């Protein structure tokens, strides 16, 4: 059985090691195959011993990329593109399924892992879809480094222009670049859901607790509230108000503790 290559990036200190460990546990509990889990980071302290660590590189195009991002007021927003560099991971065979750290795994990942061979796959971004634009959402992304090296190489060759064209958005850059090369598919929307749009939409959020959609395999906590907010309830704004989420602790913490031990999760 083919091993699943899983990658994430943890740069800076906004997310602690428990976010990586819980993601690792959620992935391996929801894939019916061996998992190679790789985290690119400059802070590897506290990561589970089974997680493979890659040093966060300083890219040769970092300076012009940063200048373009500053103009777009999105400092650091395209750091994830480092994951697309060909030859990045030694002995890597086959596609990669990547995740942001502000997601919770809630169901079977096999359909996402197996879909669209040879293509880049992302879920349609909620806001972009509502506005009739084709941009993918970057919280969950599937690609093959052997086939999609252009995701890194095009940016490296012309960083300022590519960042400017994408308006500083990594997910816009990645999805549109794949679309331009004819190798893009959308992950079905009921598999990758938004906590604020699909689980806790306004105004129902004032009446009932957040609900987990039945087909959801990944819940994205993009923006606010984050997972730590939603556990006990969130009062940060009228639209994003959330009652305590009674299924989140089980999927994000309790099952990870049973899997890895409380010292890791």
pLDDT in tens, 163-203: 889 998 999 999 999 999 999 999 999 999 999 999 999 99
The helix (run of H) or strand (run of E) holding residue 70 is helix 62-72
Using pLDDT thresholds of 50, 70 and 90, give the confidence band for residue 67: confident
The model's pTM: 0.96
Which tens digit of pLDDT belongs to each residue from 110-161? 999 999 999 999 999 999 999 999 999 999 999 999 999 999 999 999 999 9
Residue 76 has pLDDT above 70, yes or no: no
Its sign, for the CA torsion 203, 125, 211, 233, is negative
Q: Are 178 and 120 in contact (CB under 8 A)?
A: yes
Decide if pLDDT at 101 tops 80: yes
List CB contacts of 207: < 8 A, sequence separation 6 or more.
none
What is the CATH number assigned to the segment(s) 4-188? 3.90.550.10
The pLDDT assigned to 175 comes to 98
- Output the pLDDT for position 75: 63
Mean pLDDT of the chain: 94
Give start-end residues of each CATH 3.90.550.10 domain in the chain. Answer: 4-188
Which pLDDT score, from 0 to 100, does residue 65 have?
81
* Residues 39, 8 contacting (CB under 8 angstroms): yes
Q: What's the mean pLDDT in 30-50? A: 97
Spell out the alpha helix ranges (H) of 158-262: 159-165, 170-180, 227-232, 248-249, 255-260
Residue 77 has pLDDT above 90, yes or no: no
Give pLDDT, residue 64. 83
């Amino acid at each position: 059985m083919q091993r699943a290559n899983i990658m994430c990036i943890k740069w800076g200190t906004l997310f602690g090691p428990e976010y990586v460990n819980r993601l690792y546990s959620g992935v391996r509990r929801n894939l019916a195959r061996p998992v190679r889990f790789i985290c690119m980071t400059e802070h590897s302290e506290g990561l589970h011993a089974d997680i493979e660590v890659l040093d966060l590189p300083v890219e040769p195009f970092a300076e012009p990329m940063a200048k373009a991002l500053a103009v777009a007021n999105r400092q650091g927003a395209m750091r994830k593109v480092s994951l697309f560099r060909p030859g990045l991971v030694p002995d890597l065979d086959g596609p990669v399924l990547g995740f942001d750290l502000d997601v919770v795994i809630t169901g079977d990942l096999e359909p996402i892992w197996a879909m669209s061979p040879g293509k880049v796959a992302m879920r349609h971004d909620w806001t972009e879809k509502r506005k009739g634009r084709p941009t993918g959402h970057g919280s969950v992304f599937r690609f093959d480094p052997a086939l999609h090296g252009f995701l890194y190489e095009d940016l490296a060759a012309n960083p300022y222009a590519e960042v400017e064209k994408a308006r500083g958005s990594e997910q816009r850059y990645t999805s549109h670049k794949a679309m331009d090369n004819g190798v893009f598919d959308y992950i079905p929307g009921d598999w990758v859901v938004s906590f604020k749009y699909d689980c806790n939409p306004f105004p129902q959020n004032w009446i009932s607790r957040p609900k987990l959609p039945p087909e959801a395999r990944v819940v994205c906590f993009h923006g606010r509230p984050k997972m730590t907010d939603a556990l006990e309830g969130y009062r940060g704004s009228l639209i994003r108000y959330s009652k305590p989420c009674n299924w989140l602790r089980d999927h994000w913490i309790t099952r990870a503790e049973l899997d890895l031990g409380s010292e890791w999760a």
